[in-house]
Amino acid sequence: MAAGRPVVGPRIVEVLMGSHIRAPDAPLAALTRRELDVLRHMAEGKTDRAIAEALTLSESTIEKHVNSTFAELGLAEVPQLHRRVSAVLACLRHAPSGPPGRG
């Protein structure tokens, strides 16, 4: 967050992630709708508490979705790796070259 605002805006996150779930071989294709919701909020820089409030879920439920997302994306727990950042970067790495289609 920069000055209390997300570094990446919600619309940018939506555009970037929206195109990734359409391709069957995309990393995000294996995620559930709720895991995608949580990942979108993570990409906006939100904490588990903020995500829980936004989705009206408990923090422990958010933690379960976050850990499940890490597992689906193959992000093992490594001391030198920030898995939240890696999850968002995994999405960006697989971004299509053109704008996503609407479907």
> Is 66 within the bounds of a domain?
yes
Per the structure, how many domains does the chain have? 1
Is 5 a member of any domain?
no
| 80: containing domain | 10-93
pLDDT for the residue 24: 60
Q: Considering the domain boundaries, does residue 100 fall inside one?
A: no
* 99 assigned to some structural domain: no
Which residue matches tokens 């999850």? 87
| Position 55 in a domain | yes
Separation CA 14–CA 23 (nearest Å): 15
Give average pLDDT by consecutive 10-residue segment, the chain, 103 residues.
52 54 66 90 91 97 94 84 82 54 37
- CA 86 to chain centroid, in Å, comes to 10
* Residues 1, 66, 16, 13, CA torsion sign: negative
CATH of the domain at 16: 1.10.10.10
